[in-house]
Chains A and B, each alone.
Chain A
Amino acid sequence: MDLLESLRLGFETALRPENIFFAFVGVALGTAVGVLPGIGPTATIALLLPLTFGFDEPVTSIIMLSGIYYGAQYGGSTTAILINVPGESSSAVTAIDGHEMARRGRAGAALATAAIGSFVAGTVGTLVVVLFAPPLAEVALSFGSAEYFSLVVLGLVTSIALASGSTLKALAMIVLGLLFGTVGQDLYTGTPRFTFGVFELYSGINFVSVAVGVFGIAEILRNLEDVKRRTMLVKAVKGLWLTREDLRRIVAPILRGSALGSVLGILPGGGHILASFGSYSLEKRVSRNPGEFGQGAIEGVAGPESANNAAAQTSFIPLLTLGIPAHPVMALLLGAFIIHGIAPGPNVIMEEPALFWGLIVSMFVGNLLLVVLNLPLIGIWVKMLGIPYRIMFPAIVAFACIGTFSINFNAIDVYAIAFFGLVGYFLVKLGCEPAPLLLGFILGPLLEEHLRRAMIIARGDAMVFLERPISLGLLIAAALALAIAVLPAIRKKREVVFAEDDEP
């Protein structure tokens, strides 16, 4: 199928009235929950995920889910700019200059810059997906189990390299995640593992419970440690329009950010974080007055915000072509695909062209809706920031319970939220990061399946991973990533990069 024909199919799917409607609902809900302070994009998506499972057509729910994704991303930036509470590390960069702009009464301009940057970057990122996903899927078709195994290893290791804090602890979190992923019936022999006779656990632990627990509930417990009033800049939002001078200043950063983000987003393991930090230092370097950075430089919002969104877009490439999620959010989408009976991978383009191209076009539609929706409605989102935490967090707990329960009508899933909330809270308290745990949990079954299959095919010879060139290349890349994470000189630099990360 040639590209134009494919895109036509995509537009036909994405522009069906119900799909536009649910993309719209998704963006609205995603933004609404995403702006709540203390709830990052991952938690937002985990909380809203169950809402999308009710549709008969997988494409509608996947489109709604991507709408939630864009909304959550943008909502996170809004919180970062207005109250300096970045929901996740990638918007920590936006907070540096964005919040400074807000403090100087330019919150409107910062929000508009973020929206415009997101839109341009999202469009560029979508084009990159259109151009590069199909050829990559062709390559992926030649992947055997050895290559898949090595690729998953690379993805896991990269997520360590990008995690802030202790490398050893991040590694331990991944292995723990992998172990939780083995709960349930063994794929090859049918033996129930770690189920302790509980029939509901035969199909494994529900990934929504894990995500809601380690991101949502653990986060609430952290916030309850210290409920203090946050400084609000709500009244400062006025004058959304950018001056000509502003527009002139943001064009180049947006384009550079989009390019950088598009490339880095393809990397498994969290390229979007790298992208926003990379873009910030790039803008600072090329700027004629670098002293402005940190003091409310509009370039410091435009660049990273674009890079982040372009990367968010192109991180669909490894998911759609290889079935490998690049970061926790993609892992949630992968789980959603699986619930709808679609195994993401090179075959999706062939077997589900309407879904594949519909999703890609809906990325564009989602982006457009984001700008259309968010600029006029910013007043409402700002009001949501003012909801007291004592009302918000019980609501989050209730929605998490109802939402998770409604997936399988299974009480075990609800208990699992509590369990992973506790595990997540205490481990985070001890300096471990939750994201690698979730990634390990989602990728665990994939890793085990391909390891075992590769070993059967190679008759138990572990050298197979080093003898096949693509597999070897991926493992070398993984080793390099690990070396970067461990080497002290680079480590130090990394700590500087993540210095802003410690805020909730």
Chain B
Amino acid sequence: MTIRAALKDILAGSAFIVFGVAFAAVALTYEVGSTLEMGAGYFPLALGAILALIGVLIIGKGFIAGEGAPIGYIPWRSIILLTAAIVFFGLTVRGLGLVPALLVTLALAGFSEPRAGVVWPIAISIGLTVLSVLIFVVALQLRLPLLGTWLPL
């Protein structure tokens, strides 16, 4: 009955409401049309509204019969570093080339482990970069430049 018991449901429901309203709001800027001739906005508008409604129901249900389970520990360091690792790869794989992009991505991923030291992630990063190049470039013939155009060579 308390906020505590309903916390998971409140957060989940709110997330769905935000997504639903956002999709519906953007869908309104497209032609909605009629049931007979649905425009580009009809389907996402309807779904967005349904999602927001389900979100409200989830929050409501949370207050009536919340799970009460705590959310638990959230590993922010891992989340931030791992996301950074993936985004870095996307940003630089063309410009820096596969090898430098992978070295940094793997190191960031390695450091995202809660108790990572300094030596391990770097060693892993070098080892796995070599392995990845062998698998993807040598064995699978993936056409990716090992070093990119941003580097002064």
Q: Chain B residues with Cβ under 8 A from A399's Cβ? A: 132
- A488→B110 CA distance, assembly (Å): 46
- A225→B61 CA distance, assembly (Å): 28
If the complex has contacts A179-B23, A194-B23, A398-B128, are A418 and B83 also in contact, measured as CB distance less than 8 A?
yes
In the complex, A415 has a CB within 8 A of chain B: yes
Q: Chain B residues with Cβ under 8 A from A393's Cβ? A: 109, 113
Which 8 pairs show the lowest CB-CB distances between chains A and B? A460-B36, A414-B90, A191-B40, A430-B12, A394-B109, A186-B40, A418-B86, A411-B90
Q: Chain A residues with Cβ under 8 A from B72's Cβ? A: 225, 429
Q: Chain B residues with Cβ under 8 A from A286's Cβ? A: none
Q: Chain B residues with Cβ under 8 A from A178's Cβ? A: 47
Q: Chain A residues with Cβ under 8 A from B50's Cβ? A: 175
Q: Chain A residues with Cβ under 8 A from B9's Cβ? A: 430-431
- In chain B, residues 125-151, which have Cβ atoms closer than 8 Å to a Cβ of chain A? 125, 128-129, 131-132, 136, 140-142, 144
Q: Which of B51, B67, B93, B113 contacts A431 (CB 8 A)?
A: B67
Contact with B along A136-176 (1 / 0, CB 8 A): 00000000000000000000000000000010110110011
In the complex, A127 has a CB within 8 A of chain B: no
Find out whether the CB atom of A394 lies under 8 angstroms from the CB atom of B73: no
- A189→B44 CA distance, assembly (Å): 14
User: Min CB distance, B56 to chain A, in Å?
Assistant: 10
Find out whether the CB atom of B82 lies under 8 angstroms from the CB atom of A397: yes
Contact with A along B106-117 (1 / 0, CB 8 A): 100110111110
Q: Which of A217, A398, A406, A418 contacts B142 (CB 8 A)?
A: A406
- A60→B82 CA distance, assembly (Å): 34
In the complex, A248 has a CB within 8 A of chain B: no
- In chain A, residues 364-391, which have Cβ atoms closer than 8 Å to a Cβ of chain B? 389-391
- In chain A, residues 26-58, which have Cβ atoms closer than 8 Å to a Cβ of chain B? 51, 54
User: Min CB distance, B118 to chain A, in Å?
Assistant: 13
- A188→B31 CA distance, assembly (Å): 12
Find out whether the CB atom of B124 lies under 8 angstroms from the CB atom of A390: yes
Q: Which of B16, B73, B83, B140 contacts A172 (CB 8 A)?
A: B16
User: Min CB distance, B117 to chain A, in Å?
Assistant: 10
- A254→B83 CA distance, assembly (Å): 45
Q: Chain B residues with Cβ under 8 A from A412's Cβ? A: 90
Interface centre among A182, A217, A401 (most CB of B within 10 A): A401
9 A-B contacts (beta carbon < 8 Å): A175-B20, A182-B44, A193-B26, A225-B72, A395-B128, A397-B82, A402-B142, A411-B94, A425-B79
Contact with A along B16-36 (1 / 0, CB 8 A): 100110010011001100111
In the complex, B152 has a CB within 8 A of chain A: no
In the complex, B87 has a CB within 8 A of chain A: yes
Q: Chain B residues with Cβ under 8 A from A398's Cβ? A: 89, 102, 105-106, 109, 128-129, 132
- In chain B, residues 38-53, which have Cβ atoms closer than 8 Å to a Cβ of chain A? 38-44, 47-48, 50-51
- A191→B39 CA distance, assembly (Å): 9
- Residues of B with Cβ closer than 8 Å to A? 8-9, 11-12, 15-16, 19-20, 23, 26-27, 30-31, 34-44, 47-48, 50-51, 54-55, 57-58, 61, 67, 69, 71-75, 78-79, 82-83, 85-87, 89-91, 93-94, 98, 102, 105-106, 109-110, 112-116, 120-121, 124-125, 128-129, 131-132, 136, 140-142, 144
A212 closest partner in B (C-beta)? B86
- A418→B37 CA distance, assembly (Å): 37
Find out whether the CB atom of A221 lies under 8 angstroms from the CB atom of B54: no
Find out whether the CB atom of A194 lies under 8 angstroms from the CB atom of B93: no
- A188→B16 CA distance, assembly (Å): 28
Find out whether the CB atom of B113 lies under 8 angstroms from the CB atom of A452: no
- A397→B142 CA distance, assembly (Å): 18
Find out whether the CB atom of B75 lies under 8 angstroms from the CB atom of A175: no
Q: Chain B residues with Cβ under 8 A from A391's Cβ? A: 124, 128
Find out whether the CB atom of B35 lies under 8 angstroms from the CB atom of A401: no
- A225→B98 CA distance, assembly (Å): 30
In the complex, A427 has a CB within 8 A of chain B: yes
Q: A172-B55, A406-B144 are in contact. List 9 more A-B contacts (CB 8 A).
A: A182-B43, A194-B26, A217-B82, A221-B79, A395-B128, A398-B89, A412-B90, A422-B79, A422-B83
Q: Chain A residues with Cβ under 8 A from B69's Cβ? A: 431
If the complex has contacts A194-B44, A401-B89, A427-B12, are A226 and B142 also in contact, measured as CB distance less than 8 A?
no
B127 closest partner in A (C-beta)? A391
In the complex, A421 has a CB within 8 A of chain B: yes
- In chain A, residues 225-251, which have Cβ atoms closer than 8 Å to a Cβ of chain B? 225-227
Q: Chain A residues with Cβ under 8 A from B102's Cβ? A: 398, 402
Find out whether the CB atom of A421 lies under 8 angstroms from the CB atom of B36: no
Interface centre among B26, B35, B106, B131 (most CB of A within 10 A): B35
Find out whether the CB atom of A168 lies under 8 angstroms from the CB atom of B35: no
- In chain A, residues 387-442, which have Cβ atoms closer than 8 Å to a Cβ of chain B? 389-391, 393-395, 397-402, 405-406, 411-415, 417-418, 421-422, 425-427, 429-432
Find out whether the CB atom of B86 lies under 8 angstroms from the CB atom of A397: yes
In the complex, A343 has a CB within 8 A of chain B: no
Q: Which of A171, A179, A193, A430 contacts B15 (CB 8 A)?
A: A430
- In chain A, residues 196-229, which have Cβ atoms closer than 8 Å to a Cβ of chain B? 217, 220-221, 224-227
Q: Which of A176, A186, A421, A425 contacts B86 (CB 8 A)?
A: A421
